[in-house]
Amino acid sequence: MSNTKPTRHRGVLAPVLTPFHDDFEPDAEAFVEHCKSLIASDVGLAIFGTNSEANSLSLAEKIELIDTLVAAKIDPARVMSGTGSCSLKEAVALTRHSVDAGIGSVLMLPPFFFKNVSEDGVFAFYSEVIEAVGDMRLAVYLYHIPALSGVSITPALIERLRKRYPATIAGVKDSTGDWENTRMLLTTFSDDGFDVFPASEALLLDALKLGAAGCISGTANVNPVMLSTLYRMAHEPVSAHLHENAVSIRKAFQQVPMIPAMKAAIALRTGRESWKNVRPPLVPYKTVDMRATVALLEAGERTLMALQSHAPG
């Protein structure tokens, strides 16, 4: 068992979109390129999240993509690996591989096929993974997205897990989109040993006032500089204007299926048509015109540049 302390994250992270070739195989080259561009924009990498189409990827594909990032010299301290699975053995295998690759932080869904499972069952799942990996470098961020998983990460469950594994249970991503739930998590677990990440930049400023660690937002894939600047300048007068711009862009993507829309926007901006590819059951935006949405992104970037050019210092 390693004695190295786990990595803790701050700031904005993107649940990294997974590019595919036309045969639906992951495009490792485009994946690394996208990851490097996000890090260059000061956005961390939450690989294998919902927007990554993680549950459409096999265990072997995820392991290969992790190895590709390591080979490309991506700093593992900037990465959070999504390792949740309905299969206990697969969750253990991917978590162990992530930690061995230097990615100690993992974002872990509860097992999500069976519904109305007991708190004891969900606790046992997380406990078995932590015990099986058995590494002090491991930091588990609990992934609360009940609208898709059908399984809630309750305050009582968080308390039980923290009591049993105080050095390992690092925080939670709250993907309810409900400010009252995020506020409750922030006020209930207000000490500095537990990090709360809302899943939307719309909640970022209010959440930071209560001690949030940042946010993990899908639209950080397409609007990274704006969001990283919003986090960095959250306490500056300009933050309200930045927030307004960031939320307007998020709303534009929320009006349509977000994953195909973000991929189509990246395809338009990079000229790489294969970025439009999504794995079934998702379907790509082949006929929808994304130019107006991309123009909104570019207008936001111009606004940001203008604000920065007039900033003191």
**How much is the pLDDT for 308?**
66
pTM above 0.85, yes or no: yes
Comparing CA positions, the residue from 142, 129, 135, 50 lying closest to residue 91 is 129
Q: What pLDDT, on the 0 to 100 scale, is given for residue 287?
A: 59
Task: State the pLDDT at residue 296.
Answer: 81
pLDDT at residue 1, as a whole number = 44
Active site residues: 143, 173
Separation CA 200–CA 287 (nearest Å): 28
The domain locations on the chain are 11-223
Note whether 91 and 73 are within 8 A (CB). Answer: no
Annotated binding-site residue numbers: 216
What was the pLDDT predicted at 312? 53
Fold of 11-223: TIM Barrel (3.20.20)
At residue 311, the pLDDT reads 59
Residue 297 has what pLDDT?
82
- Grouped pLDDT means (10 residues each) for the chain, 313 residues: 70 98 97 98 97 97 98 97 97 98 97 92 98 96 93 95 96 96 93 90 96 97 95 92 92 91 93 95 80 81 72 54
Q: CA 218 to CA 19: how far, in whole Å?
A: 14
**How far, in Å, CA of 100 to CA of 102, rounded?**
5
Nearest to 129 by CA among 142, 115, 147, 148: 142
Residue stretches of the annotated binding site for pyruvate:
216
